[in-house]
Structure 1
Amino acid sequence: MSSEFGSFLRIGVFGQSHGRAIGVSIDGLPAGEAIDLEELQRFLDRRRPGKSPLSTARKETDTPEFLSGLENGKTCGAPLCAVIRNGDQHSKDYSELTDKPRPGHADYTAAVKWDGGADMRGGGHFSGRLTAPLCIAGGIAKQILARRGIYVGAHLASVGAEQDAPFPPLPPPELFDAIAAKPFPVLNDHAGEAMQALILAAKEALDSVGGIIECAAVGLPAGLGAPMFDGVENRLSAALFGIPAVKGVEFGEGFHAARLRGSENNDPFVMEEGHIRTKTNHAGGILGGITTGMPIVLRAAVKPTPSIGKPQQTVSLSRMENAELTIHGRHDPCIAHRAVPVVEAVTAAVLLDMLLEGNHGTF
């Protein structure tokens, strides 16, 4: 199914933005793993809407209800299923979009693929609302990985032209925790203030702005992954592109590596405390699709929110003629800052899947 990912750990997302509920199913979790539900809720709250003028005014508690797979606070080996009830839908705001697809959104492609049968209220199954169940899966994965000394964290690297400081070469888990505790997920708070001002300026202009998220995973062993089409980059990219609005993914130096010489881009190998390491990490912790033991570093580019208040040109599907569209309702002027925990979640879920696969379902 297109809304599932994973090999050993199968994760499926279901629901629509304005349906009764959204949810996730997870098959393959090892039994006996304690899940701290308060910690999981704190993780979900990081992407929850309605917390500030920087995001949509939609109010949702995003509290998961576990239907199976969790007993007495621990995984029980059965497939885990959790739902989040929707409670603050304004479907009338989307009535015009059935006939007039939003530029930059999946309204048109969904109408073509399903011959007008798709539920596109609030974006339907294409909505960023579906990242909440992704965060349930990823929040659980983060807890399981952390008990094995593997930590995943992210920050908002840029909004528009405003940039945060990059992660240090070996980011400690405490740095991830410090970013997660902030109301705006950046390393440099002055840069964060400039980003927030840019978001609010776009909102005032009835427009939107995009951003880039930098994510790192530390503590992974060398040797995870495979060459060619089943590498770490392949698996991560496939899942990360499932996050609504992600339009680009790069690892290490990424596209910048094309402007470097080999002598600049190569990471020299060194011995440190009896372990093989690299002096630099331009490769982002991956060579030939296989982990080097250095931190995995990736960046995901998030496009500007398509739903903006400015008049836009579109077409009327019923009349097959040009039309103008002015979008009403509650929308994020920028979704990149709320997507930071989502990138963490997907990264953690993929890495847990690969580790379980390599260890035949156990650690």
Structure 2
Amino acid sequence: MYVAVKGGEAAIANAHRLLADRRRGDRSVPSITIEQIAGQLGLAVDRVMAEASLYDRSLAALAIRQARGDMIEAIFILRAYRTTLPRFGTSRPLDTTSMAIERRISATYKDLPGGQMLGATFDYTHRLLDPSLLTDAPVEEPALRQPDDEVSLMRVSEILAQEDLIEADGELPADHVTGDLTREPLEFPMSRDLRLQALARGDEGFLLALGYSTQRGYGNAHPFVGEIRIGEVEVEFDVPELGFAVSLGCIQVTECQMVNQFKGSAKAPPQFTRGYGLVFGQSERKSMSMSLVDRALRATELGEDITAAAQDEEFVISHSDNVQSTGFVEHLKLPHYVDFQAELDLVRRMRRDFEASRQAGNDDDFMEAAQ
């Protein structure tokens, strides 16, 4: 037993060395730096930060490098590191109305007050491979907005609210304490704040598939992108000793408000309702998917029938976390020798019983034919 354990330890140590070798790759090619990953693979970094629930571009880039580009492994690594950090308190809610906007679009109004701001997007590219990227070709400098162009832009929801055509933001009870998904066990049904936390760090691909399903008839959704905003917002923290809030700096976020039809109920008139998504970094697909699923999960609240997977809170939240999902799936690679031997013995005995019953049946058929 001891020799087997020592042999296993040596094999594992060698596997680690082999992993480091494969991670480094061809030694004739310069090693990729953390700065290059953070600067040139920014959307990958944004996804890792969002799904690890930790806003730190350098650490997210390090996790991507350590994981050889495996995004879920990088998220796992960064989330594990996050659990080691001390917690000093809770920041104030982000004021996205004062966002320094880099990109802002709406699918509901062409002449949006303040205008559409396209920003950096793949939306208008041809999705053709660009051979010029095979070399370090010079890049043309873009025309940037001047600082004096910064204005507070009216939201689409505010435009609709002027005619009372969309549900109000609502007010939280004065004694409401925001939950913390990272410190409290999951309990169903969940409050919306906890549900949004789970969706914000949920797997982008899973939420994308669920959001897509609601558009294909599995959830009775007819959504419009009310508004997507990308930009920097200030994070403030209340310091009890000082008696006022201090700024911790700015972070980039993507916010999406999805507008949905609602035929009304006994308590509410026909109006538009909303789904909401807020994600670290530039993560439009994730914020859109999140807002679609958020609206679907409000079915019970709005008196709608639950007919689809995207409307089932326990199903969505329990399966959206890619770190937990990875653990359940990948643990199958670990030794299950004893369990399998028990299964193997069971199948052998069942097979013997089957063969015996079949032989007995053949003997009975033979006797009937002889008579």
Report the TM-score, using the length of structure 1 for normalisation. Answer: 0.27
Larger radius of gyration: 2
Q: Which has the higher contact order (CA 8 A, sep 6+)?
A: 1
